[in-house]
Structure 1
Amino acid sequence: MMALFSQTIQTLLAHRLRGFLAILAIVWGIISVLVLVALGEGFYQINMKSFSLLMNDTQVVFLGQSTTKEWKGRAAKRLIVPSEAEVRQIRNHPAIENISVIYSKRNASVTDSQGRSLPRNVTGIDDQFIELRNVKLSKGSRQVNHGDLVNHKRVALVSWQLADIGSLHIGSSLNINGIPFKVIGITKKNEDGISLGDVSQAMIPSTVFTDLWESEPDMLFISPVEGVSSWLLRKNILSFFANQQYFDPNDKDAMYMPDFGQEAAFFKKLLRGIQLFLGANGAMTLVVGSLGVANIMFLSVTERTREVGVRLAIGATPNNILGQFLIEGGILIACGTAIGIVFSYGIVMLLNMIGMPEWLGEPMITLDAIKISLGVTAVLALLAAYFPARRASNLLPVIALSARA
């Protein structure tokens, strides 16, 4: 075996240009697969961050809907507007883990410290909002806490969009209805989850919000206890409020609870499909590279026909010939694969250093991508090397020796 391997190395060194071209074809194919899949992975990760709220168990409930069915003498088209005290009673339900109650105002007076107008969207939040809404805050920020709610503190979290518009930073102030509020936090850019309304907003403690405006809650975020499915959670929520507000438990229009899970699952499949498409394009390049290796191997067999004839004449078996050409093709593809992986990492690192558009994310090579590339390459390598090797092993010594040099 060692003698066969040694002969193969000598042959490759004797035909360096041919070997170089074969390796180059595989290198280019590996780079195409890994870099395209890395771009797809970056795109997938950055978009899945935006849909992180959809992928967890938190259920969004929009209040202020109307009933569509009559119920026990009560007319249809009644507006269901529970108070905060009524809403918070659901916290005692055995299927409910946590709840956040949200208020909103779309036409508030919001200005910076210089009196310049800012977007007029104000949200009243509690100390569970950040966790259930899955909001990420920038460095140095803090969330609204229990003390802020109890003491009616005039503090505000602002979205990064509002911070950009108003040149706001942590510690600066803005005026809401002419009252100054201190900015205690700014959401992290592009990582504040999906939008459930206008994102250019100021968020203040809900107790301060109700001091400014007489209002009922607009929205809830509700998380279930472990083991409760999203479908069962929605059923329990609807049943609870139907009991409390006296409407038909089967009237789903009375409490709007979108099933984001199905949408998120579809979007996840779509992103994976895009990544698969990119990988398939790279794989086509790898296939072309493998065909190049096969052509070079067939050319090698043709040029070395007399050499094969001599070896067969002095006692080499067809299996010896088959083994040598298989090892030769395997070495070429193994070298091309190794070099291609190294170059792919280098290219991805360079792309990250240069900086990609935010919507594309950071390209990353995953272990799964390498495994798939190696698997595809192994199959193509076997096919590319086997048929030329089999042709060489099937040559008859007399015919091989009579071939032109």
Structure 2
Amino acid sequence: MIALLSQTIQTLLAHRLRSFLAILAIVWGIISVLVLVALGEGFYQTNTKSFALLMSDTQIVFPGQTTKEWKGRPVRRLILPSEVEARQMLHHPAIENISVIYGKWDASVTDNQGRSLPGNVTGIDDQFIELRNVKLNKGSRQINRSDLVNHNRVALVGWQLAEIGSLHIGSSLNINGIPFNVIGITKKNEGGISLNDDASQAMIPSTTFTDLWKSKPNMLLISPVEGVSGLLLRKSILSFFANQQHFDPNDKDAMYMPDFGQEAEFFKKLLRGIQLFLGASGAMTLAVGSLGVANIMFLSVTERTREIGVRLAIGATPNNILGQFLIEGGILVVCGTVIGVMFSYGIVMLLNMIGMPEWLGEPMITLDAIKISLGVTAVFALLAAYFPARRASNLLPVIALSARA
């Protein structure tokens, strides 16, 4: 075996140009697969973050209006649970966490010079950032329990509001003429699509909000305990508030709870489909590269016909010939694969250093991508090496020796 391997390497070195072209074809194919899949993975990761709220287990709940009579109570009753009533859901065995949100759309928001800013005011608690999956810029801090207890006049502002008002962490803005210190700014989302509408909002502690406006929550964020499905969670929420607020448990309009499950699954499949398409495009390039290897090996068989005839005449078996050509093809493919993977990592690192558009994300080569590319390469390599090798092993010594040198 060692002698056969040594002889194979000597043969490849004797035909350097042909070996180089075969390796180059494999290198180009591997780079195509890994780099395209890396771009697809970066795109997938970035855009799934944009849909993070949609894909999470957190349920959005909007107080609504009844559409059915219930035990003598008329239809079209507004269902507006108070914060105390809403937080009683924490005692429910299916509920892990809850965030109560207030909103004021006609509040006066101005900068220090009195210029009006196009922002809404939202009252939030210390669970909002986590459940809403809001990302904050470096140096920001969340609204915490101390802010709620002390009714602090602090605000988190959306990135759009911060840009319009030239606000930064440590600056202040006025809400209904009262100054609030900016403690954080939400991170700008350039991932293409976002379901969060916090970009133009000024978010203040909910206790401070209720000091300014006597209102009830206009939205709830509720997360389930592990193992509770979205359907069971929505049934539990509706049943709880139906019992508390006295409305028909089947009246889904009384508490509106959008179900994003199907949409989330669709978007995940769409993003994976894009990644699969990119990978398939790279695989086609790899297939073309493997075809080049096959052509080069067929040419090698043709050029070395007399050599094969001599070896068969002095006692080499067809399996020996088959083995040598398979090893030659395998060495070419292994060399091309190793070099291709190295170049792919280098290209991806270079792309990340240069900086890609934020909607495209950061390309990344995953272990699964390497496994897939190696699997595809192995299949194509076997096909590329086998048929030329079989042709060489099936030659008759007399015919091979009579071939032109």
| 2:282 aligned with 1:262 | no
AA of the residue aligned to 1:185: G
Deviations 1:90-142 (A, max 9, x none): 22222222211101112221111122222221110012112222222222222
Length-normalised TM-score, structure 2: 0.96
Residue 225 (structure 1) shift: 2.4
For 1:10 and 1:263, the matched residues in 2 are separated by 59
| 1:349-364 → structure 2 map (5 Å cutoff) | 349-364=349-364
| 1:361-380 → structure 2 map (5 Å cutoff) | 361-380=361-380
For 2:295 and 2:53, the matched residues in 1 are separated by 52
Equivalent position SS for 2:141: coil
Residue 51 (structure 1) shift: 2.0
Length-normalised TM-score, structure 1: 0.96
Cα distance 1:152–1:138, how it changes in 2: closer, same or farther (>3 A)?
same
Q: Which runs of 5+ in 2 are unaligned?
A: none
AA of the residue aligned to 2:206: S
- 8 Å CA contact 2:156–2:204 kept in 1: the answer is yes
Aligned twin of 1:114: 113
Equivalent position SS for 2:32: helix
Count, aligned residues: 404
For 1:191 and 1:244, the matched residues in 2 are separated by 42
| 1:300-311 → structure 2 map (5 Å cutoff) | 300-311=300-311
- 8 Å CA contact 2:119–2:161 kept in 1: the answer is no
For 2:194 and 2:39, the matched residues in 1 are separated by 22
| 1:311-350 → structure 2 map (5 Å cutoff) | 311-350=311-350
Aligned twin of 1:75: 74
Aligned twin of 1:52: 52
- 8 Å CA contact 2:329–2:385 kept in 1: the answer is yes
Aligned twin of 2:272: 272
Equivalent position SS for 2:288: helix
- 8 Å CA contact 1:69–1:76 kept in 2: the answer is yes
Deviations 1:240-264 (A, max 9, x none): 1111111110111111111223322
- 8 Å CA contact 1:291–1:384 kept in 2: the answer is yes
For the aligned residue pairs, the C-alpha RMSD in angstroms reads 1.6
Deviations 1:62-89 (A, max 9, x none): 12x1112121222222221222222222
Residue 150 (structure 1) shift: 2.1
Aligned twin of 1:236: 236
Deviations 1:26-72 (A, max 9, x none): 11100000000000000011111122223332211012x11121212
| 2:29 aligned with 1:29 | yes
For 1:50 and 1:105, the matched residues in 2 are separated by 25
Residue 196 (structure 1) shift: 4.2
| 2:253 aligned with 1:253 | yes
- 8 Å CA contact 2:67–2:76 kept in 1: the answer is yes
Residue 194 (structure 1) shift: 4.5
Deviations 1:147-166 (A, max 9, x none): 21222211101122222222
- 8 Å CA contact 1:22–1:332 kept in 2: the answer is yes
AA of the residue aligned to 1:118: L
Equivalent position SS for 2:359: helix
Aligned twin of 2:131: 132
Aligned twin of 2:90: 91
What percentage of aligned pairs have identical amino acids? 85
Residue 380 (structure 1) shift: 0.6
AA of the residue aligned to 2:187: K
Residue 170 (structure 1) shift: 1.1
Deviates more, 1:295-304 or 1:72-81: 72-81
Q: Which runs of 5+ in 1 are unaligned?
A: none
- 8 Å CA contact 1:49–1:191 kept in 2: the answer is no
- 8 Å CA contact 2:54–2:195 kept in 1: the answer is no
Equivalent position SS for 1:359: coil
For 2:400 and 2:50, the matched residues in 1 are separated by 66
- 8 Å CA contact 2:61–2:258 kept in 1: the answer is yes
- 8 Å CA contact 1:123–1:202 kept in 2: the answer is yes
- 8 Å CA contact 1:141–1:185 kept in 2: the answer is yes
Aligned twin of 2:282: 282
Residue 7 (structure 1) shift: 1.1
AA of the residue aligned to 1:197: D
For 1:48 and 1:380, the matched residues in 2 are separated by 33
For 1:92 and 1:373, the matched residues in 2 are separated by 51
AA of the residue aligned to 1:401: L
For 2:137 and 2:400, the matched residues in 1 are separated by 74
Deviates more, 1:82-91 or 1:37-46: 82-91
